[in-house]
């Protein structure tokens, strides 16, 4: 594997990892806000069910 290709692969994987981290942080932030209010949890559940169909 040439060095140039390796650099491109590392860059793309870094982008994926950053995106995953961002999603995880957003997910945990949402979880904490859900924990404080139960009605919001129900609302999120309904939203997820609605987006699924």
Measured in whole angstroms, the distance separating CA 33 from the mean position of its chain's CA atoms is 16
The answer to whether 15 and 22 are in contact (CB under 8 A) is no
Confidence at 35, pLDDT banded by 50, 70, 90: low
Amino acid 21: pLDDT: 94
Distance CA 15, CA 20 (A): 9
- Predicted TM-score (pTM) of the model is 0.45
Confidence at 1, pLDDT banded by 50, 70, 90: low
């Amino acid at each position: 594997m040439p060095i140039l290709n390796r650099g491109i692969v590392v860059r793309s994987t870094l982008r994926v990892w950053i995106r995953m981290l961002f999603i995880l942080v957003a997910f945990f932030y949402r979880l904490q806000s859900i924990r404080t209010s139960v009605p919001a949890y129900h609302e999120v559940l309904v939203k997820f069910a609605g987006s699924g169909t």
